[in-house]
Structures are given as structure tokens and as C-alpha cells.
Amino acid sequence: MDSGYSEVSTLRRRSLRDFLKSKFPNVDPFALPKKAKIIGHVALVRFQGEGIDLGELGKAVAEFYPRVRTVLRLHGIAGRLREPVVELMYGDPNTETIHKEYGYKFMLDVSKLMLCLGNSYERLRTARSVRHGETVVDMFAGIGQFSIPCAVLSKPSKVYAIEINEEAYRYLRVNVAINKVEGVVEPLLGDCKELTPALGRIADRIIMGYFGGTIEALPAALGAVKPEGATIHFHEVVKRGTGKDELWNEISELCFRLGYTSTLLGSRIVKSYSATREHVVIEFKVKPTKGLS
Ligand SMILES: C[S@@+](CC[C@H](N)C(=O)[O-])C[C@H]1O[C@@H](n2cnc3c(N)ncnc32)[C@H](O)[C@@H]1O
């Protein structure tokens, strides 16, 4: 179990930890949370300290962030579906909330689903790269982290948003409605490894926003590429330094073996993931080398 969450610090001059230090003078400062991740009215905090009164600590966190009504302790992110493991520390037990960024909104239940704030610029950047009239396939759609910005900020003709987790799919549908992109974003419930090739050769752009084995879904992605080619946004967590180049070698070799040319368009570090690993995105163009059957 690990944390895919990036944390945000408040813009106040005083840090959360400094504030908490003054409230809990007898607690080791390093046992207190350094920052919080704020999603709508909910604050999520991570800390190592044991024996601290969770209710009192949660109340102090809520005092520091005036819009926060609920404080959750985040223990980590678990499993293939990357679900948060949380504990209510303080406040309103209703953890369903709305996060707003760059003109679109995401509704979610923070106790059940994750939203990485450290990816917000990548969501914007990806949406801006979508061209008028494109057909986009978002293979790991979540609650619409990429599909919604693409539909709200650009003018694709269609975004197929595939999600396997029923809870995420439910919020994906809600987010399509609250962002008024019905008819553009089509949510599909199921495994993208089956549903993507089943769409046929329709994709101008494919978003693979997942990590921990994204390469396993590449053959399925290639199955939806238009005969004239498509752009793929491929996310993965790799080791710092050489990891991105090694990943690109792996991707291009697999494309070659499956009968596709692959041309690197660009790559970037989305965010730091741990001391030794980083979340990267590689953007490349693929095209079938021979006629397609
Ligand atoms: C880490 S979240 C990322 C969401 C979004 N793409 C982003 O990058 O912010 C990955 C999502 O992929 C979904 N997922 C995992 N395996 C899947 C599969 N085989 N088919 C469709 N969705 C899948 C999970 O349920 C989860 O909602």
C-alpha cells in the first residue's frame, strides 16, 4: 500500500505543522501532519504519530482550514483499483464533495475514491492537446479526471470513458451530468482491455492514465487506433533518471512487435512519487505498418 496522493500546503504564511505544534506542545512535531490535501470540504492528512487524540488533532486541522468541515486520516491507497484507506478524525461524516479546477468540477466520495491534485496541470495540458472533432478513448477513466476536462475545454466529437470500478463509474456519470457534457462523454463500465478493442478502429487519441502495469493494456489500446494512426498518452511510475527512457524502449518494442510504428512526441514528469520513483507521461504517435484486417 502506498500513497498516490500529492499534498498541497496552504498559502498561509504559517504552515499546518507550525500551527499544530502550538496546539500540541507535548507531541513530537515530526509526528504531526505537515500538510493537508484539501478536496472540497474535506481535508486528508497523513502522519506517523501514535497516541495522539485523533478528534482533537482533526478539530485543529479544521480550524486551520476555514472551509474544511471533515478531516480524514489517510492511511494509504490500496489495490488494483487504487482505493483510499481512510479514518474519520473529525467533523461531518459525509465525505461526498465537489472539487473544482480550471472551469470543470469533479464530484466524488473522498473516502472511497482518489483524486490526485498533483495531476491537475497534466489534466489541463492533456485537454488542451485534444483537437476539434477528435475521438478520444480514456481507458482508465476514474471519475472523469481526463475525460471531463477534454470535453469541457476542447471540442472532441466523442470521448469514450471506460471504468471498471462501479463506484467510480457512478461518479463518472454524475460528473458528465454536472459538467453538461452528455452526448460528448460516453461512460462505459467494464475492463478497458476488453472494451477498447471492441470499440473498433475509431481513436484519434487514447489516454492511458494508470500506473502499475499500464503496458499490459497497450495491445488493447492499439486495437482501437484509427488506420491513419493515433496519439497515446501513456502514464506510468518509473525509477528516477533512466526510467522514462527504459519505458519508452519497452513501449516502442512492443508496438513494433504488434505491427505499429511509434514516434515519440514528448514526455514529462507529472509528479514525484517517492524518493526513488516518479510519475511520468509519454506521448507518442502510433500507426499500423501494414493494412489492417
Ligand atoms: C489511478 S486511477 C486514475 C484515474 C485517471 N485516469 C487519472 O489518471 O487521474 C485508475 C483508474 O483506473 C481504473 N481501472 C483499473 N483497471 C482498469 C481496467 N482494467 N479497465 C478500466 N478501468 C480500470 C480504476 O478503477 C481507477 O478508477
81 lines ligand 1 (CB under 6 A): yes
Assigned domain for 11 exists: no
pLDDT at 252 over 60: yes
Assigned domain for 257 exists: yes
Looking at the structure, do residues 82 and 139 belong to the same domain, yes or no?
A: no
Q: Nearest C-alpha to atom 9 of ligand 1 is from which residue?
A: 145
Domain range for 49 is 16-94
Looking at the structure, do residues 121 and 58 belong to the same domain, yes or no?
A: no
Looking at the structure, do residues 197 and 268 belong to the same domain, yes or no?
A: yes
Looking at the structure, do residues 140 and 276 belong to the same domain, yes or no?
A: yes
Contact 208, 221 (CB under 8 A): yes
Centre of ligand 1 to C-alpha 184, Å, is: 20
Query: What mean pLDDT is reported for the chain?
Result: 93
pLDDT, tens digit (0-9, with 9 covering 90-100), for 51-78: 889 999 999 999 999 999 999 999 998 8
pLDDT, tens digit (0-9, with 9 covering 90-100), for 116-134: 999 999 999 999 999 999 9
Closest ligand 1 atom to 142 CA: 27
Looking at the structure, do residues 25 and 132 belong to the same domain, yes or no?
A: no
Looking at the structure, do residues 46 and 132 belong to the same domain, yes or no?
A: no
- For residue 195, what is the enclosing H or E element? helix 192-198
Assigned domain for 180 exists: yes
Assigned domain for 283 exists: yes
- pLDDT for position 114: 87
Residue 103 backbone zone (phi > 0: left; psi -120 to 50: alpha; other: beta): left
pLDDT at 18 over 90: yes
pLDDT, tens digit (0-9, with 9 covering 90-100), for 266-288: 999 999 999 999 999 999 999 99
Assigned domain for 7 exists: no
- pLDDT for position 182: 97
pLDDT at 291 over 70: no
Looking at the structure, do residues 87 and 129 belong to the same domain, yes or no?
A: no
Looking at the structure, do residues 131 and 56 belong to the same domain, yes or no?
A: no
pLDDT category at 14 given cuts 50, 70, 90 is confident
pLDDT at 86 over 60: yes
Rounded to two decimals, the pTM is: 0.91
pLDDT, tens digit (0-9, with 9 covering 90-100), for 161-198: 999 999 999 999 999 999 999 999 999 999 999 999 99
Assigned domain for 240 exists: yes
Assigned domain for 108 exists: no
Give the CA diameter of the chain: 71
Assigned domain for 123 exists: yes
pLDDT, tens digit (0-9, with 9 covering 90-100), for 223-238: 999 999 999 999 999 9
Looking at the structure, do residues 207 and 135 belong to the same domain, yes or no?
A: yes
Looking at the structure, do residues 141 and 71 belong to the same domain, yes or no?
A: no
Nearest to 262 by CA among 284, 277, 230: 284
Percent of the chain whose predicted confidence (pLDDT) is above 70? 95
Look up the CATH number of the domain holding residue 50.
3.30.300.110
82 lines ligand 1 (CB under 6 A): yes
Residue to mutate (ligand 1; options 188, 210, 218, 232; most atoms within 8 A of CB)? 210
Looking at the structure, do residues 58 and 165 belong to the same domain, yes or no?
A: no
Q: Cell 482550514 sits at which residue?
A: 65
168 lines ligand 1 (CB under 6 A): yes
210 lines ligand 1 (CB under 6 A): yes
- What residues form DSSP beta bridges with 261? 287
Look up the CATH number of the domain holding residue 145.
3.40.50.150
Looking at the structure, do residues 191 and 249 belong to the same domain, yes or no?
A: yes
Rounded to whole angstroms, how far apart are CA atoms 8 and 32? 16
Domain count, the chain: 2
